Amino acid sequence: MEYTPGMSHTGPALSYDVLLEVAAFASRQTLSSFMKTCRILYHEIAKMMLRRRVVIDNVYDMNAFTAFLNAEPNRPGFLCDLTIDMEPHPPVRLQPIAPGLSDTFLRHSFRSLTSLRLDHAEETLRLYPKLSDGLASLSTLTSLIVSPAGSFVMTMLLCLQADLRTLVIGYQEGLDQMEALPHHVLHPVVLLQRFRHSLETVEIRGYEVELSRAKVPGQYPKVQEFILDSPDCPLLAPYIHAFPDVRNLCITTVFADALTPDILPRERATIDAFRRLNQLDQASFGAWTKLETVSGTVADVYLAGFSCAIEVLYLNVLTYDPFCMVHTILRDASISQLHLFIHNLEVLEDGGLPMVLRQLGDSSLEALFLYIRLCAQTECEEDQLILVDMAAIDRLLDSFSYLRIKKLDFRLCCDDAACKRGSHRPLAPGMLCGGQDILAFDGEAVAQRILSSIPTVQDVGVRFMCDRKEEARLHRTLPDEAQ
């Protein structure tokens, strides 16, 4: 589409190719203006707009979008990524969706449409039931995000003609009271059978009804990544059976960020009971055997009851998570690489991380990445000094000597507010306060101390920092004699 000498002088000063390059970085409003300038740009800019993500957030936009699609017969074929996010409003008067919307989905080939996101999905399909038929006909979809899912969404999923590779589904609350479908059909591994030969990534949010093993259907052989965000204590056996080849797992339970000194004593028996159920199921019916990465909080991973091999574990130790659970997780599972993200001061106590590290001498652990953040545990403590006992840090450094790992990366961070609060206050002997004292540590000396205390280590990194983005020395070296 080059500009030629024979082109009319009334045409653009720049070639169409240059204009299209400029349009690639323009806003939708600018693109709309471009379309009005000439016939060529009218056609080409329309294609460009449809290749970008299209977001529809009200009925008026939906009707305008439908008219835009139908303006040229080939336009639907260029739509790639569609988001429908029509938040329900108080029912004054229901605005009708353009009559041709569902017909547009049914009649045209949306050959490039691979990604669909449907927010407020259940209410949208309840208000506009004909839309469900049109969405179900989109055979080229490979990625679907839909939430919340109730009977209308589930009916659409059961009819969807696409071979999905990625599915994110957020369930509607009150599934146990839903009468439109049998309870066992609601479970994801049953509901999604239509896509079991194509799904590779599955994310499930909000599901809380258990499934009898007798009703677990066929397996999903291609699922490699599984994300489970449960508002309850999940039993994993149906998922282990359905997704046997999962390599990357992220798990969130009702206890993910809910453990406090008041709640933990009341809920500990429940957590232990579900852990035992998961352990029993895995011992009786099999566990995951190909896990490469697992991530979650201490309560999440503890409740899962893993005793299998895990190549990399990302474990968040939140404010009140008990370190005895951390110890149990690391004792029962065979972990090669451990990333510990710790967010409270109790980590330095003798019953905290030092206790855990002393138990890892005979473990399969090869690499430890330790990130400790010293910060106020509650909002009411934000104006208080954050004090660190030097003896506690020595105790932590001593506990590294029990490890038989090849790599250790140790980062200790204090929040900037504590750094400022503690800068002019007298402290008791042997106590440190905030980021300024943390930054005063000799990172190289600490790294050398760790290097000499772990006979198997080949790589040591130490960093002390605070939120002001100042960093102490980073030491990562291996003397020839230690190799």
pLDDT of residue 422: 44
Count of alpha carbons within 13 Å of 174, Cβ hemisphere only? 8
The count of C-alpha atoms lying within 13 angstroms of the C-alpha of 212, restricted to the half-sphere facing its C-beta, is 6
What pLDDT was estimated at residue 336?
Answer: 96
- Backbone angles phi and psi of 317, in degrees to 5: -100, 105
- For 319, phi then psi, to 5°, come to -55, -45
Query: Which pair of structure tokens corresponds to residue 478?
Result: 């291996």
With a CB cutoff of 8 Å and minimum separation 6, the contacts of 74 are none
pLDDT value of residue 138: 94
Average pLDDT of the chain? Answer: 81
CB under 8 A, 24+ apart: contacts of 36-43: 37/12, 38/11, 38/12, 40/1, 40/16, 41/16, 43/72
pTM of this structure: 0.84
- Map out the domains of the chain as residue ranges: 343-483
Chain segment 404-432, per-residue pLDDT in tens: 999 999 988 776 554 444 444 444 444 45
Here the tokens at position 137 are: 């006909």
Q: DSSP code of 172?
A: P
Collapsed DSSP state (helix, strand, coil) of residue 289? coil
The pLDDT of residue 318 is above 80: yes
| Residue 262 burial (C-beta neighbours within 10 Å; 0-12, 13-18, 19+) | exposed
